[in-house]
Amino acid sequence: MNPRIKEVIATDDYKLILTFKNDEKAVYDCSGLLDFGVFKELKDINYFKQVFVEHGTVAWPNEQDICPDTLYLDSKHLKENN
């Protein structure tokens, strides 16, 4: 099982900066979702920025969410600076 989300920050360009429970960090680009079904509402940047963590994944007030496995597998993982 892939790690779940611990923290999320929304950016102005429809990306989510994610911190997973194993402390990995990654960026997930939501721009490809904005023309599909329930995700169309996310085009409103003010609404997009209302994202929060719920049950180990990201969600929005009107019950949109993204599978946590999709977030982990399809994100660009950031390398730690050592």
From the options 3.30.2020.10, 1.10.10.60, 3.40.50.700, 2.60.40.10, give the CATH code of 5-78.
3.30.2020.10
Q: What is the pTM of this model?
A: 0.93
- Measured CA to CA, the distance from residue 82 to residue 71 in angstroms comes to 25
At 10-68, the pLDDT tens digits run 999 999 999 999 999 999 999 999 999 999 999 999 999 999 999 999 999 999 999 99
Backbone angles phi, psi at 55, to 5 degrees: 50, 40
